Amino acid sequence: MDKKRILITGAAGFIGSHVARLFINKYPEYEIYNLDKLTYAGNLENLKDIDKNSNYKFILGDIVDSELVNNLFEEYKFDGVIHLAAESHVDRSIENPMDFIMTNIVGTVNLLNAAREIWKGSHENKRFYHVSTDEVYGSLDLEGFFYEDTPYNPHSPYSASKASSDHLVRAYHDTYGMPVIISNCSNNYGPNQFPEKLIPLFINNIRNNKPLPVYGKGENIRDWLFVKDHAAAIDVIYHGGKIGDTYNIGGHNEWTNIDLIKVICKVMDKKLGRANGSSEELITFVTDRAGHDLRYAIDSQKLQNELGWKPSLQFEEGIILTVDWYINNQKWLDNVTSGNYQKYYNKMYENR
Ligand code: NAD
Ligand code: DAU
């Protein structure tokens, strides 16, 4: 029997690389194709332990290029898609929304069109799984949670572009009967995250004795989930989720930014053998992010009840694993923070 062919988009990025590794190792009966443009956030180093596997193939390409996407679907006749490719950083979306509109909206529609064309209404064992974010729901006050039926209310160009793509994915289900599934996840942390996002940025700055730029008063709240737990959730949803449904994924692990940063500082002091409290001295309060959402918090009961998923790691363990990974992978950090990264950093933080 032919092997099932699964296209994972954006698998050279942070979450995508963990999903691809899990699928490649766990399902030798699948052929995994990674379509990635290798933007600043995509890095084949993230997959170097599995890139020689016979059930893995990398394809360099842009999901915005509809001709390329159509040709790939025509050539490989994918049975399933797990779509993670995206522009993913809120601050960059404030600087330059257009890349987000193109990749997150147009790119998603190109994939839907190509899948629709080759599947031609025969959807048995086919899946189009769209990976999305809790930011589409907007911002919470200090009480309550995001549920699967919470109305969309995005505030940044990033979250608005992800919300648009979610709507389009659902529209292709309702209009054309496409076999879609969506999940909306909270903030991820762990190995291989590009150091523009809070946790790896602060680990890297502490390592280099650079200021830690805390937006506003550091009172914003995020719900943090270890990236491998997100990958495990994607696995169970891809295989057991109900077509047309949405699943929320979260860690039930809320932290104000300032409290989280203090934990990172403590762990880093210990790991680097510095005096307790020395990293905290690097904390610098800077101008707040425009349109900064106060709080995200996910209710993931549906996923837990229907598919039996729950986070495997306590945050206290996950953050130590994460800090260890960055300390042990300084070359990875140095590689991704050379060149254009410095220009990005100076531009983003010069006027704060
Ligand atoms: P990332 O920025 O680390 O990786 C994105 C990947 O997509 C990179 O490899 C990049 O090269 C690729 N890519 C970007 N534009 C492309 C294009 N036009 N064509 C092909 N490839 C392209 O992102 P991430 O943090 O791993 O997020 C992955 C997905 O998960 C995104 O859809 C994001 O919205 C979603 N998500 C992220 C989080 C989080 O906390 N990071 C939480 C919930 C949902
Ligand atoms: O909630 C899921 C989302 O989480 C994903 O969809 C996004 O792709 C991902 O980037 C993340 O978005 P956030 O904006 O929450 O993550 P970020 O790491 O950029 O910021 C986390 C919090 O830390 C947020 O309140 C802003 C704050 N922050 C961030 C940076 C980069 C700072 O205070 N200083 C900083 O320098």
**pLDDT, tens only, 108-120:** 999 999 999 999 9
Give me the amino acid identity at 288: D
State the closest ligand 1 atom to the C-alpha of 107, by its place in the atom list counted from 1: 18
Judge if the beta carbon of residue 10 lies within 6 A of ligand 1: yes
DSSP per residue over 308-350, as a string? Answer: -----S-HHHHHHHHHHHHHHTHHHHHHHTSTHHHHHHHHHHT
Confidence at residue 69, expressed as pLDDT on a 0 to 100 scale: 98
Asked whether residue 203 carries a pLDDT value surpassing 60, the answer given is yes
Note whether 295 and 141 are within 8 A (CB).
Answer: yes
Class in CATH terms, 5-192+224-255+291-316 = alpha beta
Please tell me the distance between residue 292's alpha carbon and the centre of ligand 1 in angstroms. 20
The best mutation among 15, 108, 135 to test binding of ligand 1, ranked by most ligand atoms within 8 Å of the C-beta, falls on 15
Closest by Cα among 292, 283, 288 to 351: 288
Ordered by start, the domain boundaries in the chain are 5-192+224-255+291-316
Closest by Cα among 139, 161, 142, 141 to 151: 139
**pLDDT, tens only, 293-344:** 999 999 999 999 999 999 999 999 999 999 999 999 999 999 999 888 888 8
Give me the amino acid identity at 7: L
Q: What percent of the chain is predicted at pLDDT more than 70?
A: 100
Question: For residues 289 and 72, what is the distance between their CA atoms, to the nearest angstrom?
Answer: 39
CA of residue 175 relative to chain centroid, distance? 28
Mean pLDDT, rounded, for 131-160:
98
Q: What percent of the chain is predicted at pLDDT more than 90?
A: 94
Q: Label residue 206 by pLDDT band (50, 70, 90).
A: very high
Please tell me the distance between residue 335's alpha carbon and the centre of ligand 1 in angstroms. 19
The best mutation among 35, 38, 39 to test binding of ligand 1, ranked by most ligand atoms within 8 Å of the C-beta, falls on 39
User: What is the rounded average pLDDT for all residues in the chain?
Assistant: 97
Q: Which ligand is nearest to the CA of 134?
A: 2
Judge if the beta carbon of residue 257 lies within 6 A of ligand 2: yes
Strands of the chain, DSSP E: 4-9, 30-36, 56-60, 80-83, 127-133, 180-185, 187-189, 212-215, 221-226, 246-249, 254-256, 283-286
Question: For residues 129 and 301, what is the distance between their CA atoms, to the nearest angstrom?
Answer: 20
Question: For residues 159 and 137, what is the distance between their CA atoms, to the nearest angstrom?
Answer: 9
Mean pLDDT, rounded, for 130-155:
98
Question: For residues 250 and 248, what is the distance between their CA atoms, to the nearest angstrom?
Answer: 7
Question: How far lies 195's CA from each of 1, 126, 302, in Å?
Answer: 43, 35, 32
Judge if the beta carbon of residue 309 lies within 6 A of ligand 2: no
Dig out the tokens for 284 from the structure.
């610098």
CA of residue 171 relative to chain centroid, distance? 23
Alpha carbons within 13 A on the beta-carbon side of 324: 6
Confidence at residue 104, expressed as pLDDT on a 0 to 100 scale: 98
Question: Which residues are marked as active site?
Answer: 134-135, 158
Asked whether residue 1 carries a pLDDT value surpassing 60, the answer given is no
Question: For residues 153 and 213, what is the distance between their CA atoms, to the nearest angstrom?
Answer: 27
State the closest ligand 2 atom to the C-alpha of 292, by its place in the atom list counted from 1: 25
Judge if the beta carbon of residue 322 lies within 6 A of ligand 2: no
Torsion-angle region of 95 (φ positive above 0: left; ψ -120 to 50: alpha; else: beta): alpha
Asked whether residue 215 carries a pLDDT value surpassing 90, the answer given is yes
Question: How far lies 71's CA from each of 59, 149, 179, 203, in Å?
Answer: 12, 36, 21, 42
**pLDDT, tens only, 41-86:** 999 999 999 999 999 999 999 999 999 999 999 999 999 999 999 9
Judge if the beta carbon of residue 182 lies within 6 A of ligand 1: no
Judge if the beta carbon of residue 46 lies within 6 A of ligand 1: no
